[in-house]
Amino acid sequence: MEFDWLNTFITAAECGNFRRASEILYISQPSVTVHIKQLEKELGILLFDREGKKIKLTEAGKRYLLHAKRLLEVYQGGLEDLHSFTQGYTSQLTLAISPLIADTILPYVLKSYTKQHPEVEITIKIIESTEIEQAVLKEEVNLGLSCLNCTNQDLICELLYKDRVIFVAPHDGRDAETAPPLDEEEVLSSNYLLTHNHPGYWESLSREVKNKYPHVRMMKVSQVHITKRFIIEGLGVSFLPTSTVRRELLEGSLLEVDCHTIHLPEANTYAIMKYEHSKQKEFLKFISNYRL
């Protein structure tokens, strides 16, 4: 059996048309027909019912499609593993990282880790914190770095660090040493408050702000990097984890506003695992030496 036959069968089954399958696979339509006929001969079953130009999986075809996908997945996985081995990798680590955590010094940490551990092949999947738990549970990733605590008792969850949340505004163009400090109430009353860029603290924080400043105007912005861009452009202000705005504060494009009436929350980062294998533990020990 040729794996090309399997790939052609799966593609044709998913798009329901031999012509479309040929376009996707960059082969001729007669080649698609030949592959299907060869696979049917090998298996001794009819995979498709043909009605003119339309095709439909037979009951046997539907049943075999699941096996074909598994076979192709195992084959491709073997090729990828062999490719990694020939490149000098002896182990793999797949990480799920929330967009917010990725927007810290994590790239620098990963660069340092790969330099010290060139034998480890790292794969990064950027996934929202609300979806990381399921990705770990389904073993799509080895380790998740999330902004949310884990709720599934079958998973291992470790608090990596707590991050101070601060109130940030765009630079007002005045000299930081001589200008009076920005006033919390004035900043909130004269700007949109950009909310819900972190999954952990905004529900309670937005209620508190509304209670203290009923007339504040709010705008939901789901991504931290977009929030920062909006603030720098003068479109609003927000409460963000210190680690995500460290560079902008140093460069002077953002300013911290002192808060006197609003209780500032903390932003937590959690490591979520299904198994405590040596590679996961080694990576967590490494990143614990850094302040993300």
Going along the chain from its start, the domains and CATH numbers come out as 3-86 (1.10.10.10), 91-160+268-287 (3.40.190.10), 162-266 (3.40.190.290)
- 76-99 pLDDT, tens digit each: 777 766 665 565 444 788 999 998
* Location of structure tokens 């052609």: 8
Lowest mean pLDDT, pick from 3-12, 43-52, 72-81, 189-198: 72-81
Predicted pLDDT of residue 179: 62
Rank 73-77, 86-90, 181-185 by mean pLDDT and report only the highest.
181-185
Q: Taking the model in full, what pTM does it have?
A: 0.64
41: number of CA atoms within 13 Å, CB side?
A: 9
pLDDT at 232 over 90: yes
- Cβ neighbours of residue 12 closer than 8 Å, sequence gap 6 or more: 18, 21, 32, 36, 48, 55
The average pLDDT across 14-29 equals: 89
pLDDT above 60 for 183? yes
End-to-end CA distance of the chain: 50
Task: Please state, for a pLDDT cut of 90, what percent of the chain lies above it.
Answer: 56
Q: What is the pLDDT of residues 150-179, one digit of tens each?
A: 989 999 999 988 999 999 999 876 665 556
Q: Place 291 in a pLDDT band, splitting at 50, 70 and 90.
A: low
Q: Which of 76, 74, 68 is nearest to 12 (CA)?
A: 68
